[in-house]
Amino acid sequence: IDMPHNVAIIGAGSVGSTIASFLMWEGVFEEVLMVDIDMELCKGQVMDLSDASFLTDTAVRIGSFQDAANADIVIITAGAKQRKGETREKLLKRNVKILRAISNAMGTVSENTIVLLVANPVDILTQVFQEISGIPRTRVIGSGTFLDSMRLRTEISRRLDVAVSHVHACVVGMHGDCQVALWSNAQIAGVSVSEYGKLNGKDLKQIAEDTRDKAYKIIRAKGSTYYGIGACVAKLSRGIMQDRRGVFQLSVWSEKHGCYLSWPSLVGSKGVIKLIPLKLKNSEEQVLFLGGR
């Protein structure tokens, strides 16, 4: 019997529920499972989401950690939020504890399950979860700099008045303060972005900083960000489920750097197929190396 394609979202907060709504509209899965230790919140989100299910054939229900272990894709949004005055080390320790509890609760996952982490710091937590769970590296990925790359492309598209689908540019490295916009590889129809748009070093620096700081601006204004990441996860999920062999900027294991970091990767139904062999300028490589350390 053909099992229904399903996705389990661990963490029913604002990010998890927004991702669930995007995945319902995408219609790639027959079933979206919401998993959370806060059963009351989980119940509320499922009831609210199911009110919108008349627009789609995708069902939404409460799932268990055991259900998640057999899902096609597990999306982990659960993570501790930084407390006032808390160091990143302390926050990381709390998040490691949460990931260990999730891994223990799921137990052995199906050999085809792909795990996608969306909690921050995403590159580090993706590596931590892979090490805790022992799931092969090709099947444990993080959302990485996918959204940052989309923000970069959108900003270039806006400034140069070119359709975003024809802007090829990406952000790599450690998502956050150590990420790098790869201007050496950024192009429009084969022409470098700086040449096409007559942009100087100052312009490029400004665009990269605006891309990096956009999340902070959103958080200051409304507390957190979730629509952009919801759209990214929906697009990536479709690419995986339909084996589209798309290239996404994700947190992946890099042999060269000996750690997980965000890099353009070819992805299919079995996870990461290969990392795109981009050539970087020395200055770009240096920032990447520091972030990896």
Alpha helices by DSSP H, listed for 188-241, are 193-196, 201-222, 227-241
Residue 208 is encoded by which pair of tokens?
């990269």
Catalytically active residues are 175
Peptide bond into 277 cis (omega under 30): no
- Specify the residue for token string 């806006």: 158
Inter-residue long-range contacts of 187-190, CB under 8 Å, 24+ positions, other chains counted: 188/156, 188/160, 188/162
- DSSP class of residue 169 equals -
CA–CA separation, 196 vs 190, rounded Å?
10
Interatomic CA distance for residues 76 and 10, integer angstroms: 5
User: What's 36-73 look like in SS3?
Assistant: CCCHHHHHHHHHHHHCCHHHCCCEEEECCHHHHHCCCE
Q: What is the DSSP letter of 256?
A: T
